[in-house]
């Protein structure tokens, strides 16, 4: 028999049993569910990553919906078990859902929710922080100070790269990539080169207008270019930030050959998913190119780093915290809960992902809609008219 899993229960007499595999920030998400007749069970097991067996034990033989985490493996086994337990709803507490087999969920009639929009600016801010930390060698300099090694100003001490007037490269200019690009352009007056499968029209318009504004004020205008190939970005940019989804087209997008065409003093930032970079190739590249720097929020074998990465002074590494602002994490919990609630209640799907804020307003009830269900079309969920 499977080992019992420790849980905390809210509204024990609720009609719909909803599980959250982790405690999530804020309490609004719990209230939204309990107010709508849900019994909420939150896993309190002292274990960072739950296994498939742990989650099977949580689902049990009656479960209407689950809020899960990006560290969990949501595939055939879990979706078939959820279906057998009477469930129709799942949401990742994340915008990325590369940990979810959407086809398996669809096969069992289960909606797969995610949390776009609420983490765009927070994640872009962390990518910008990593860009600055890497370009100005903040972590190395901090460690030097704490080690008591500073004995006076020197002309060569921790010389880094100036961003102003340089070129920022964005690979994957979707919500987060575009927000990051704007920060680097507005903040540091960098020129933009980007690569995406689709044209980033709003971003292009913004850079054009900002360039005109600068020119009218007697400053050097910023420029933009949509690259025909990713290699063009890698060759031209001084700072490159990766923001695509992780799928088979982006796995090891940055490999040994592509690292070799980047500038020797370039800065590479990754706040998307670890496997977008071949991390073994990256470690080798960092070793032989000391002026090349990286800022990494995500890792190929998360939570582990590939051997040698931790020894590289030209790498700034943080533990997948790009979406970790209070507002964002509470908002992610709210959107995930409303995806599950909406699917259980048979609500339509929200259609304007640029307006997820309406779900986050503490002072008014959220719309009767699922904020974001990625397989809504396959499941025949209608669009909200709100
Ligand atoms: N480190 C962290 O904590 C966080 C990581 N993320 C990651 O960031 C990703 C992007 O999030 P959003 O910007 O909201 O998604 P989005 O869907 O708005 O943007 C992704 C962009 O990638 C582009 N793309 C897809 N395949 C590509 C390819 N082969 N080459 C170039 N571009 C390609 C798409 O066309 C799209 O414009 C998420 O899927 C997630 O994996 C998101 C939030 C936080
Ligand atoms: O939302 C995501 O995809 C994340 O990585 C969480 O920060």
Ligand nearest to the CA of 195: 1
- With 90 as the cut, is the pLDDT of residue 386 above it? no
143 and 205 share one domain = yes
127 and 255 share one domain = yes
Distance (angstroms) between ligand 1 centre and the Cα of 244 equals 3
* Helices and strands in the chain: count of H runs, count of E runs: 12, 13
Within 8 A by CB and 6+ apart from 130, the residues are 269, 271, 295, 296, 297, 316, 318
Domain with residue 230: its CATH number is: 3.40.50.720
104 and 154 share one domain = no
219 and 300 share one domain = yes
Known active-site residue 273: yes
162 and 212 share one domain = yes
Residue 386 falls within a domain, yes or no?
Answer: no
Domain boundary pick from 268, 294, 317 = 317
Q: Whose CA is nearest to atom 1 of ligand 2?
A: 94
Domain boundary pick from 266, 293, 317 = 317
191 and 309 share one domain = yes
Q: Whose CA is nearest to atom 2 of ligand 1?
A: 322
109 and 221 share one domain = no
Domain boundary pick from 272, 288, 317 = 317
124 and 112 share one domain = no
- The verdict on the CB of residue 271 being under 6 Å from ligand 1 is yes
Residue 174 falls within a domain, yes or no?
Answer: yes
pLDDT tens digits for range 196-230: 999 999 999 999 999 999 999 999 999 999 999 99
Distance (angstroms) between ligand 2 centre and the Cα of 199 equals 24
Residue 385 falls within a domain, yes or no?
Answer: no
- The DSSP element (H or E) to which 146 belongs, if any, is helix 138-146
Distance (angstroms) between ligand 1 centre and the Cα of 323 equals 13
Q: How far is CA 147 from CA 81, 134, 233, 314, 316, in A?
A: 53, 20, 38, 18, 18
Overall domain count for the chain: 2
Q: Look at phi and psi of residue 320 and say left if phi exceeds 0, alpha if psi is from -120 to 50, else beta.
A: left
Q: Whose CA is nearest to atom 14 of ligand 1?
A: 175
Asked if omega into 303 is within 30° of 0 (cis), the reply is yes
99 and 132 share one domain = no
pLDDT tens digits for range 110-164: 999 999 999 999 999 999 999 999 999 999 999 999 999 999 999 999 999 999 9
293 and 158 share one domain = yes
Look up the domain containing 163 and give its range: 120-317
354 and 305 share one domain = no
pLDDT reported for residue 4: 76
**Mean pLDDT of the region 265-294:** 98
189 and 168 share one domain = yes
Q: The pTM is what?
A: 0.97
Residue 384 falls within a domain, yes or no?
Answer: no
Here the ipTM equals 0.99
Known active-site residue 243: no
Catalytic one of 226, 258, 320, 329: 320
What is the rounded CA–CA span in Å between residue 336 and residue 330? 10
Within 8 A by CB and 6+ apart from 228, the residues are none
């Amino acid at each position: 028999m499977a080992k019992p899993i420790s849980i905390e229960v809210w509204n024990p007499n609720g009609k719909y049993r909803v599980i959250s595999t982790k405690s999530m920030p804020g309490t609004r998400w719990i209230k939204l569910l309990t107010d709508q007749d849900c019994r909420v069970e939150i896993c309190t097991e002292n274990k960072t990553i739950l296994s498939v067996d742990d989650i099977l034990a949580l689902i049990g033989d009656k479960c209407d919906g689950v809020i899960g985490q990006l560290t969990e493996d949501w595939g055939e086994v879990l979706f078939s078990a959820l279906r057998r337990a009477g469930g129709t709803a799942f949401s990742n507490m994340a915008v990325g859902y590369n940990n979810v087999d959407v086809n398996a969920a669809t096969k069992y009639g289960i909606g797969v929710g995610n949390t776009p929009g609420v983490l765009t600016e927070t994640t872009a801010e962390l990518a910008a922080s990593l860009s600055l930390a890497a370009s100005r060698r903040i972590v190395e300099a901090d460690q030097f100070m704490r080690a008591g090694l500073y004995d006076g100003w020197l002309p060569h001490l921790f010389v880094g790269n100036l961003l102003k007037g340089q070129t920022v490269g964005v690979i994957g200019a979707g919500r987060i990539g575009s927000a990051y690009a704007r920060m680097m352009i507005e903040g540091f007056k960098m020129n933009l080169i980007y690569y995406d499968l689709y044209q980033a029209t709003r971003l292009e318009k913004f850079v054009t207008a900002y360039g005109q504004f600068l020119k009218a004020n007697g400053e050097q205008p910023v420029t933009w270019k949509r690259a025909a190939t990713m290699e063009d970005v890698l060759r031209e940019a001084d700072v490159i930030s990766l923001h695509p989804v992780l799928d088979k087209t982006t796995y090891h997008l940055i490999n040994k050959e592509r690292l070799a065409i980047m500038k020797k003093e370039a800065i590479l930032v990754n706040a998307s998913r670890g496997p977008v970079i071949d991390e073994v190739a990256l470690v080798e590249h960092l070793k032989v190119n000391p002026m090349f720097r990286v800022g990494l929020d995500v890792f190929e074998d998360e939570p582990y780093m590939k051997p040698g990465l931790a020894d590289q002074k030209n790498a700034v590494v943080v533990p997948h915290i790009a979406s970790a602002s209070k507002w964002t994490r509470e908002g992610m919990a709210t959107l995930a809960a409303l995806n599950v609630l909406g699917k259980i209640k048979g609500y339509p799907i929200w259609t304007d992902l640029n307006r997820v804020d309406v779900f986050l307003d503490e002072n008014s009830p959220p719309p009767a809609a699922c904020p974001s269900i990625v397989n809504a079309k396959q499941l025949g969920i209608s669009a909200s008219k709100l």
